[in-house]
Amino acid sequence: MEAVNFCGINFSCLEQEQLFREDDETRFVVTVNAEFIVKANHNPTFLNIINDNYATFDGQIPYFFARLLNSQQHFDKISGSDLIYDACANAQKNNKSIFLLGGETKANKLSVEKIRATYGLRVDGYSPPYENYPFSAKNSQEILNKITEFKPDFLFVAFGAIKQEYWIHDHLDFLKQHKVRLVVGCGGTFDFVSGQVKRAPRFMQKAGFEGVWRLLAEPRLFRLRFRRLLESTRFFGVLYNHHLALGGRHNGLIRKNRF
């Protein structure tokens, strides 16, 4: 399978349906936005985690520039906030199960209830007490016990940027042993699914202003959202260094055999 190298990250050129392909592989999907690109370019460990798995475009602005620089190649924008609904539809059709890990307790619970009511599938969730990663031995074991007991086919992890990817990476062998076939770091997705936060209108998403929408929609988190939005603007510096500084030269395509 081909991949697009953009800003130092190998993005998978895949159709979303390929993520649900019936086989024995455990697919770890990293949905990459501008903030992830900035962090990955300053954190080699995080960059390796992304490049060793399935990276997809989440942010509209990085997706726009990647398409501009690779106009001959087709690749989709696949965000965690959209992917969870497709996973639910697939699970409903193929008798699969979904587990929601992380997020705020209320958002997790409401998301489970809404998915169960809407799709009628086997779904459960767990929101562990908040702490920095790595988690305490007690909380780590409780998480693993919940997953072992439920045996999900699809797992969505909402610990927030980097923390969720580190946790998935560190427990990928465990997830493979328990036959989790799709695992996705999904950030604030449960806030949307639960209805606690309204997602930006489609035109704002298309224009790349979803981060601005969340800044205004969650005044209690204004400082956090502002810092993250400010950090995301550093993406343009990364873009310049990787693709524009040498007269428009860029890394182009690489080939990867995952399918």
pLDDT at 183 over 90: yes
Q: Where are the beta strands (DSSP E) in 33-166?
A: 54-57, 97-102, 122-126, 154-158
Is 254 inside any structural domain?
Answer: no
Is 47 inside any structural domain?
Answer: yes
φ, ψ of residue 98 to 5 degrees: the values are -130, 140
Question: pLDDT tens, 129-178?
Answer: 999 999 999 999 999 999 999 999 999 999 999 999 999 999 999 999 99
Q: Give the C-alpha separation, 206 to 112, whole Å.
A: 28
pLDDT at 214 over 80: no
Model-level pTM?
A: 0.89
Q: Give the C-alpha separation, 63 to 75, whole Å.
A: 9
Per DSSP bridges, beta strands 2-6 and 9-12 are: antiparallel
pLDDT on residue 259: 38
The residue ranking higher by pLDDT, 142 or 250, is 142
Question: pLDDT tens, 89-122?
Answer: 999 999 999 999 999 999 999 999 999 999 999 9
Hunting for tokens 């074991």 — which residue is that?
A: 141
Is 109 inside any structural domain?
Answer: yes
**Tally of domains in the chain:** 1
Hunting for tokens 């992890």 — which residue is that?
A: 157
Q: Where are the beta strands (DSSP E) in 90-192?
A: 97-102, 122-126, 154-158, 182-185
Question: pLDDT tens, 51-90?
Answer: 999 999 998 999 999 999 998 888 889 988 899 999 999 9
Is 249 inside any structural domain?
Answer: no
Is 135 inside any structural domain?
Answer: yes
pLDDT on residue 225: 62
Is 230 inside any structural domain?
Answer: yes
Q: Give the C-alpha separation, 24 to 179, whole Å.
A: 8
pLDDT level of residue 258 (50, 70, 90 thresholds): very low
Provide the 8-state DSSP code for 5: E
Is 97 inside any structural domain?
Answer: yes
Residue 148: its H or E element = helix 137-150
Mean pLDDT estimate for the chain: 89
Q: Residue range 168-193: average pLDDT? A: 97
pLDDT on residue 213: 63
Alpha-carbon distances of 169 from 27, 46, 164, rounded to whole Å: 11, 10, 9
Q: Give the C-alpha separation, 127 to 99, whole Å.
A: 11
Query: Of 99, 110, 59, 52, nearest to 81 (Cα)?
Result: 59
pLDDT at 1 over 70: no
pLDDT on residue 14: 81
Longest Cα–Cα distance of the chain, Å, equals 55
Query: Of 214, 173, 194, nearest to 102 (Cα)?
Result: 194
Residue-number span of the structural domain to which 97 is assigned: 2-13+25-243
pLDDT at 37 over 90: yes
The residue ranking higher by pLDDT, 17 or 37, is 37
Q: Which residues lie across from 77 on neighbouring strands?
A: 57
Is 193 inside any structural domain?
Answer: yes
End-to-end CA distance of the chain: 6
Q: Under a CB-based contact definition with an 8 Å cutoff, are residues 186 and 157 in contact?
A: yes
